[in-house]
Amino acid sequence: MNLGVGFTIPTEHLHQDKYFPSFTQLPKPAIPSIASGAGPVFMDSVIALGGFPGATDAWAKLKKALRFHRNKQCQLRDVQITLMFEGWGQSDHSIENAFYMFLARFLGGKPEPILGPLVEQLKNARNANRTEFSRFMAEYDVDLKAERFAAYSEIIGEYFHCYEEFNQTAVYARLGIPLPPESIATSSAFESTRMFYGNAYEVLGMHLDVVAAVNNMCSGRDYDQMQAMDLKQYRTIKKSNRTKCFSSNSELSWFVEEYDSQVRNASHHRWFKIDDAKRVILYRSGGTGALHKMSYAEYLYRCNRLFFRICAMACWEIIMLHMTNQKL
């Protein structure tokens, strides 16, 4: 068994020799079983738990492919996609499929449980009024698509710049399980990650207009008309208030289950302070209000929860493009 390092460690075992957190830091149902008498068997625990070995290298290739695509250097783009897909068994080497498959593997390789309900919302929106859905997609294609995927690429690049930090808690966010109590992140490059939550919050917040538009159509309205305002006005309100218009839609509300404006403000305005042991973050509401504490491991976990939702949203939009035969 290959024991991956992508785990936090309990305080009591921090300096214990021959301790492997992968044995104790996950609930038993999350750990794949090996059939009796099947051995000897090699298991890579990272892959078995939905991890993505080689993710950093794959992102480096995809990042180049996306840049070549934006610059219309198609041959150079296709070289990078071919390199990334080596051993993946993919026949579709389009930039859309390359981006989607990278994100799908990062989300755990089988993202259907996450994306299935979200795709149903797209289908509901289209079936409610195909003419209105086409009008929405026309605006998306002309005015929204390029800027949105540039923002996705930028925040993914920021994540992978500090991948070894975030990878300490990615497995818990990927499996949708709480971080084990009294967990410690053994690496704490806080200065490199302190603004990530705020930056990711901004990306997600800016992109909630498409979620709102889909909800409008699912509710039988024009894509650009909420109950209380139109989409143009919606794009001007505070990002912390942009979740209310689809709060009754449980599927779409999944996107903002991790969307904390107080943590965003502390991250974005550099109100975070970390203790000398590099284990506990302190911040005040509004910079001067009530004092809050959060372990650095918990901060990394929440960054991953937020980032995974951004990845799912990007996948969702690629599926949306596929539904209407559009391209990146």
C-alpha dist (Å) from residue 77 to 71, 98, 178: 9, 11, 39
Domain assignment present for residue 194? The answer is: yes
pLDDT for 279-302, tens place per residue? 999 999 888 889 999 999 999 999
**119 domain residue, yes or no:** yes
State how far the alpha carbon of 259 is from the alpha carbons of 43, 119, 205, 265, 306, in Å: 35, 21, 9, 11, 7
**94 domain-assigned:** no
Query: Would 22 be classed as within a structural domain?
Result: no
In the predicted structure, residue 2 carries a pLDDT above the cut 50: no
* Percent of residues, the chain, with pLDDT higher than 70: 92
Q: Are 68 and 77 in contact (CB under 8 A)?
A: yes
Residue 17 pLDDT exceeds 90: no
User: Is 142 within the bounds of a domain?
Assistant: yes
* Residue 245 covered by a domain: yes
Give the closest residue to 53 by CA, choosing from 21, 100, 6: 6
Rounded-to-integer distance, Cα 328 and Cα 273, Å: 40
Count of structural domains within the chain: 1
Residue 33 scores a pLDDT above 80: no
Give the pLDDT score at 213.
98
Instruction: Tell me the residue range of the domain where 195 lies.
Output: 111-323
| Single-letter amino acid, residue 278 | K
Tell me, what's the pLDDT at 109? 81
Residues 261-270 have pLDDT tens digits of: 999 999 989 8
Give the global pTM: 0.92
The separation between CA 70 and the C-alpha centre of its own chain, rounded to angstroms, equals: 23
What integer is the mean pLDDT of 217-245? 96
Q: What is the mean pLDDT of the chain?
A: 91
Task: Give the pLDDT mean for 67-88.
Answer: 97
- Residue 166 in any domain: the answer is yes
What digits encode the pLDDT tens for the residues 117-149? 999 999 999 999 999 999 999 999 998 999 999
Q: What mean pLDDT is predicted for residues 295-316?
A: 97
220: closest CA among 297, 94, 127, 294? 127
Distance CA 121, CA 160 (A): 30
Within a domain: 91? no
Which pLDDT value is given to residue 7?
76
